[in-house]
Amino acid sequence: MVSVINVKDLAMIYKAPVREAGLQAALSSLFRRTYREIRAVQDISFELEAGEIAGFIGSNGAGKTTTLKILSGILHPTSGLVSVLGFTPWHREPHYLQSIALIRGSQPIGGPGELTVLDSLHFQQLLYEITDTAFQKNLTLLVEMLHLEPLLKRQIRALSLGERMRCGLALSLIYQPRILFLDEPTLGLDVTAVQMMRRFISTYSHQTGATILLTSHYMADVETLCKRIVLIDQGTVKYDGDLEELSTTLSSYKLLKVAFADEIMPLWSMYGEVIEEEPNKVALRVKRSQVAEVTTRLLTELTVIDLAIENPPLERVIDQVYTEEM
């Protein structure tokens, strides 16, 4: 497999001006400024292969946005090597900028409200020097994926927020970038829009072969879209690998969710630790090594209507990475 993103020993130190509160301090800071160093990214290395969708996750302030800004050429790092599609992002070569997109939030379409959506897309065509053939091809794909047909000739100011979001995606992707950096793509969206966004990201990657690095605080986004995760904490990589493997390695327990028809409840502690209990339903925490045996016992000793074996929630697994040594 070919790696399209290579990040090696990346570090970014911000210099942030500091001063005491009050007028006196404000005046003297005009003449003498003091700075504090903020090590946003300390030593990050990872690689991504063409076509991968990887989750780049970490708590607030971990350094995710800073890394994405460096990868998309907005920031020059303090040190380290980055190669994306063979380019050094902060050299900002036009060919590079035409091959990537950084989308922050859901990025609804903006600009003059009098323009129609198609006007805006044509403006983007000029800006990115897209040939008519490529424009038509990409537009057809995006119109189909984002159901844009009824919106193309509408004025931007007359669109609902959800519609502006779909058009904004089309605008960001009309030049068909090969690499997408998505920073919190589902932030602030309602339930339907979240589902739409997740479906779109997955379809877009399948149809175009784009490589996607996405950050999200919603673990459901990560679980739905990413097979691979890069987990960072305080500017350093804590885990890089298969998402499923992380759950298996870190969690020695599984959740058994059982629905049953029996009127008399058994002594659940004989099977596992009760996590949730409702009439005729129970969720049990069971050691991974005992799952097969407990499942067999449940099926023979109870009138089971439904039984599901699940991994513990991803939030809990990730939390364990932060609190325990890997």
Chain residues that interact with ligand ATP, rule: CB under 6 A: 14, 16, 38, 40, 58, 60-66
Strand partners, 76: none
Count of CB atoms within 10 A of residue 217's CB?
15
Nearer to ligand ATP, 66 or 106 (CB): 66
Residue 212 contacts residue 54 (beta carbons within 8 Å): yes
Q: How far is the CB of 95 from ligand ATP (least distance, A)?
A: 27
Residue carrying the six token digits 């040939």: 131
Residue 238 contacts residue 231 (beta carbons within 8 Å): yes
Q: How far is the CB of 311 from ligand ATP (least distance, A)?
A: 24
Among left, alpha and beta (phi > 0; psi -120 to 50; other), residue 36 is: beta
Q: How far is the CB of 233 from ligand ATP (least distance, A)?
A: 10
Q: How far is the CB of 78 from ligand ATP (least distance, A)?
A: 12
CA distances from 319 to 296, 316, 323 (A): 31, 5, 6
Nearer to ligand ATP, 40 or 173 (CB): 40
With both helix axes pointing from N to C terminus, report the angle between 132-146 and 191-208 in degrees, rounded to the nearest 10. 140
Amino acid at 114: E
Nearer to ligand ATP, 44 or 284 (CB): 44
Nearer to ligand ATP, 156 or 182 (CB): 182
Nearer to ligand ATP, 64 or 198 (CB): 64
Q: How far is the CB of 270 from ligand ATP (least distance, A)?
A: 44
